[in-house]
Amino acid sequence: MALVSIVGILALVGWLAVFGVIALAVAGAARGRPLRSAWLTVLATVAVAVALNVLAAGLVFIEPSERGVVITVGAGGIRPDPLQPGLHWVVPFAESVIPYSISRETYTMSIAAEEGQRAGDDSVEARTSDGQVVLVDASVIFSVDPDRVVDVHIRWQNRYVDGVVRALSRGIIRDSVAQYQIEQVYSSDRAEMTDLIKAELTRRFDENGLTLIDFVLRNIAFSDEYSASVEQKQIAEQLAQQARFTVEQRRQEAEQARQVAQGLADAVVIKAQGDAEARLIEAQAEAQAIELLAAALAQNPDVLTLEYIQKLAPNIQVMLVPTDNPFLLPIPSLGGTTP
């Protein structure tokens, strides 16, 4: 690239030198100097300028990110093979080179005014299978196929961005959206729809000498009416969810109260069972004691007297009994007189 520029600058300088030499020759002739030597200098300068100009016209440098399409006066009007990166020579004034970038390019169609290639709302308006209108923001990342640059030039020249990228992208997006319902577009089948668009763009771009690098579905917007209905639906779903939560909370509280009541009832039953078992054990013990006492009385009647005496207070010295009742047991001498 630098060499081509240097040669072009030298060609310009050569022509400036030609005009300068001519001016000096005319000035010398006015002073009576001979013109022959002056004209020889002019011719030599012109020859050098022409040579430099021809050299500059024939040298072409192709950048690594470019391919060159050679337009020629020969048969067909165009060379079949593009120029590869580097310095090349073409026939001066009979051939020209049109460079084509093969780097990645991004074409964005957006609802935002300054985000896309076109000012204003450039989103893709599409209609779903159930008749809802959506606005699709998308970016298409692509490049020109290096091996098919000549084909792209023959078909589209420098119009492939609008003629292929923009036109095909918008049409394929509309056709793909039309295969899905509104809820599928923004939720469950969005990824599937994106893959469908990408596959179709890849095929159609390849037919036109372009390579699809990636398709980015940036955003999907809806009409104001549908957005309002979606918002109302979401509010209704939130209220229903809150109601279900409240019902579940009340059910859990009721279950908790039932479990507490059941626990209290179980505690009462257990306590009653314990009291009954305690009384039964006590009754069994009393019955066994009575049986043992009866057996002891049967073997020794004085046991009853012993029990009677043990029930008396230890400091009793006198005991009064009715005169018409016999003594139940012999009274030992108490050291006093019984009236």
Residues 46 and 137 both lie in one domain:
no
| CATH code (residue 112) | 3.30.479.30
Residues 95 and 116 both lie in one domain:
no
Six token digits for residue 277: 């078992």
Q: 172 Cβ partners below 8 Å, 6+ apart?
A: 197, 200, 201, 204
* Neighbouring-strand partners of residue 139: 108, 216
How far apart are the C-alpha atoms of 215 and 163, rounded to whole Å? Answer: 18
Query: With 0-12 CB in 10 A as exposed, 13-18 as middle and 19+ as buried, what is 178?
Result: exposed
Amino acid 339: pLDDT: 44
Choosing from 52, 85, 100, the residue where a domain stops is 100
Residues 63 and 34 both lie in one domain:
yes
How many structural domains is the chain composed of? Answer: 2
Residues 53 and 146 both lie in one domain:
no
Amino acid 141: pLDDT: 96
Amino acid 222: pLDDT: 82
Residues 60 and 113 both lie in one domain:
no
Q: Which among 106, 59, 82 has a CA at the least distance from the CA of 216? A: 106
How far apart are the C-alpha atoms of 188 and 288, rounded to whole Å? Answer: 83
Residues 113 and 218 both lie in one domain:
yes
The terminus-to-terminus CA distance of the chain in angstroms comes to: 159
Residue 273 forms part of a structural domain: no
Six token digits for residue 291: 């049986």
Residues 159 and 96 both lie in one domain:
no
Residue 195 forms part of a structural domain: yes
Residues 65 and 173 both lie in one domain:
no
Choosing from 179, 196, 222, the residue where a domain stops is 222
Place of tokens 């022509």: 15
Residue 308 forms part of a structural domain: no
Six token digits for residue 247: 């019902």
> How many other β-carbons are positioned within 10 Å of the β-carbon of residue 129?
13
Amino acid 112: pLDDT: 85
21 DSSP 8-state letter: H
Contact 4, 49 (CB under 8 A): no
How far apart are the C-alpha atoms of 145 and 64, rounded to whole Å? Answer: 14
Q: Which among 13, 90, 19, 18 has a CA at the least distance from the CA of 55? A: 90
φ and ψ of 222, to 5 deg? -120, 170
> How many other β-carbons are positioned within 10 Å of the β-carbon of residue 59?
18
How far apart are the C-alpha atoms of 264 and 260, rounded to whole Å? Answer: 6
Polymer length of the chain = 339
Residue 155 forms part of a structural domain: yes
Residues 145 and 37 both lie in one domain:
no
pLDDT by position in tens, the chain (length 339): 566 667 667 667 766 776 776 776 666 666 666 555 666 776 777 777 777 777 777 788 899 999 999 999 876 789 999 999 998 888 888 888 999 999 999 999 998 878 887 888 889 999 999 888 899 999 999 999 999 999 999 999 889 999 999 999 999 999 999 999 888 887 778 899 999 999 999 999 999 999 999 999 999 888 776 666 665 666 667 767 777 877 888 888 888 888 887 888 777 778 778 777 878 787 787 778 777 767 777 777 666 666 666 666 556 555 555 556 555 555 554 444 444
How far apart are the C-alpha atoms of 185 and 192, rounded to whole Å? Answer: 9
Residues 134 and 197 both lie in one domain:
yes
Residue 120 forms part of a structural domain: yes
How far apart are the C-alpha atoms of 216 and 222, rounded to whole Å? Answer: 18
Domain that holds residue 79: 2-100
Residue 294 forms part of a structural domain: no
Residue 109 forms part of a structural domain: yes
How far apart are the C-alpha atoms of 20 and 32, rounded to whole Å? Answer: 19
> How many other β-carbons are positioned within 10 Å of the β-carbon of residue 207?
10
Choosing from 200, 222, 244, the residue where a domain stops is 222
How far apart are the C-alpha atoms of 339 and 321, rounded to whole Å? Answer: 11
φ and ψ of 144, to 5 deg? -80, 135
Residues 75 and 141 both lie in one domain:
no
Residue 19 forms part of a structural domain: yes
How far apart are the C-alpha atoms of 290 and 229, rounded to whole Å? Answer: 90
Amino acid 337: pLDDT: 44
Residues 70 and 36 both lie in one domain:
yes
How far apart are the C-alpha atoms of 210 and 152, rounded to whole Å? Answer: 8
Q: Which among 325, 330, 334, 337 has a CA at the least distance from the CA of 306? A: 330
How far apart are the C-alpha atoms of 48 and 41, rounded to whole Å? Answer: 11
How far apart are the C-alpha atoms of 335 and 308, rounded to whole Å? Answer: 20
